[in-house]
Chain A
Amino acid sequence: MALATSQIDFAAIEARERASTKKKWPSVVVAAFVSLIWVVPFYYMLVSIFKTHAEYTANNPLSLPEGFSPIADNAISAWNTAKMGAGFANSAMYGIVGAGLAVFFAAMAAYGLTRISFKRQNFWFMLIFAGTIFPFQIYLIPLFFAYQKIGIINTHFGMLLFYTAVCIPFPVLVLRNYLNGLSREMDEAARMDGASEFRVFWSIILPNCIGPMTATFLLQFTWIWNDLLFSTVLGNREEVRSIMNSLQIFHGSYTTAGPNLTLTAALIASLPAIVLFLLLRRHFMEGMRVTGV
Chain B
Amino acid sequence: MATVGLKDIVKVYGRHIAVRGVDLEIQDKSFTVFVGPSGCGKSTMLRMIAGLEIISHGEMRLDGKIVNDTPPRERGVAMVFQSYALYPHKTVRQNLEFSLKLEKLPPDQIASRVNKAVNLLEIEPYLDRKPAQLSGGQRQRVAMGRAIVREPKVFLFDEPLSNLDAKLRNQMRIEIKKLQRRLQVTTIYVTHDQVEAMTLADVIVVMRDGVIEQSGTPMQIFESPANQFIAGFIGTPQMNFFAGSVSMSRGVATFVGEGFKLPISKSRFGTGFEEGQNLTAGFRPEDIVPQERSKSAKLSADFLSAIGFTEMLGNETLLFSSYAGTEFVSRMAQPRFVAQDEIMKFKFNVEKMHLFDGDTGMSIRAA
CB within 8 Å of B: which A186-201 residues: 186, 188-195, 199
CB within 8 Å of B: which A174-215 residues: 183, 185-186, 188-195, 199, 203-204, 207-208
| Interface SS of B by simple majority | loop
A185 vs B82: C-alpha distance when bound (angstroms): 9
The answer, yes or no, to whether B309 is at the interface (CB within 8 Å) is no
Chain A: CB-nearest residue to B83: A185
Chain B neighbourhood of A188, CB < 8 A: 52, 79, 81, 85
Could you mark each residue 41-75 of chain B with 1 if its beta carbon is under 8 Å from any beta carbon of chain A, else 0?
Answer: 00000000011100000000000000000001100
The answer, yes or no, to whether B138 is at the interface (CB within 8 Å) is no
A183 vs B79: C-alpha distance when bound (angstroms): 15
Q: Which of A183, A192, A207, A208 contacts B73 (CB 8 A)?
A: A192
Chain B: CB-nearest residue to A193: B99
A91 vs B162: C-alpha distance when bound (angstroms): 54
**A204 and B87 form a contact (CB under 8 A):** yes
The answer, yes or no, to whether B126 is at the interface (CB within 8 Å) is no
A193 vs B50: C-alpha distance when bound (angstroms): 11
**A194 and B87 form a contact (CB under 8 A):** no
**B87 and A186 form a contact (CB under 8 A):** yes
Chain B: CB-nearest residue to A210: B89
Chain B: CB-nearest residue to A207: B89
Q: Which of B52, B73, B83 contacts A193 (CB 8 A)?
A: B73
Chain A neighbourhood of B99, CB < 8 A: 193-194
Chain B neighbourhood of A185, CB < 8 A: 81-83, 85
**B146 and A189 form a contact (CB under 8 A):** yes
**A191 and B85 form a contact (CB under 8 A):** no
Report if A186-B85 is in contact (Cβ < 8 Å); known contacts: A193-B99, A194-B99, A194-B102. Answer: yes
**B79 and A190 form a contact (CB under 8 A):** no
CB within 8 Å of B: which A230-252 residues: none
**B98 and A208 form a contact (CB under 8 A):** no
A194 vs B103: C-alpha distance when bound (angstroms): 7
Chain B neighbourhood of A195, CB < 8 A: 73, 98, 102
A191 vs B72: C-alpha distance when bound (angstroms): 7
Could you mark each residue 82-98 of chain B with 1 if its beta carbon is under 8 Å from any beta carbon of chain A, else 0?
Answer: 11011111000000001
**A199 and B102 form a contact (CB under 8 A):** yes
Min Cβ gap A95→B in Å is: 27
A204 vs B52: C-alpha distance when bound (angstroms): 17
Report if A193-B89 is in contact (Cβ < 8 Å); known contacts: A183-B83, A185-B82, A185-B83. Answer: no
Chain B neighbourhood of A190, CB < 8 A: 87, 98
Q: Which of B51, B79, B89 contacts A189 (CB 8 A)?
A: B79
Report if A193-B102 is in contact (Cβ < 8 Å); known contacts: A185-B83, A188-B85, A204-B87. Answer: yes
A203 vs B87: C-alpha distance when bound (angstroms): 10
A51 vs B282: C-alpha distance when bound (angstroms): 99
The answer, yes or no, to whether B150 is at the interface (CB within 8 Å) is yes
**B52 and A192 form a contact (CB under 8 A):** yes
A207 vs B94: C-alpha distance when bound (angstroms): 14
**A194 and B73 form a contact (CB under 8 A):** yes
Min Cβ gap B103→A in Å is: 6
Q: Which of B78, B87, B89 contacts A192 (CB 8 A)?
A: B78
The answer, yes or no, to whether B77 is at the interface (CB within 8 Å) is yes
A129 vs B87: C-alpha distance when bound (angstroms): 30
A203 vs B98: C-alpha distance when bound (angstroms): 10
Min Cβ gap B328→A in Å is: 41
Tell me the B residues contacting A by CB distance below 8 Å: 50-52, 72-73, 77-79, 81-83, 85-89, 98-99, 102-103, 146, 150
Tell me the A residues contacting B by CB distance below 8 Å: 183, 185-186, 188-195, 199, 203-204, 207-208
- 5 A-B residue contacts at CB 8 Å? A186-B87, A189-B85, A191-B52, A193-B150, A204-B87
A-B contact sample (11 more), CB < 8 A, given A191-B72, A193-B150: A183-B83, A185-B81, A186-B85, A188-B79, A189-B79, A192-B77, A193-B99, A194-B102, A195-B73, A195-B102, A204-B87
A-B CB proximity, top 4 nearest: A193-B99, A185-B85, A194-B73, A189-B85
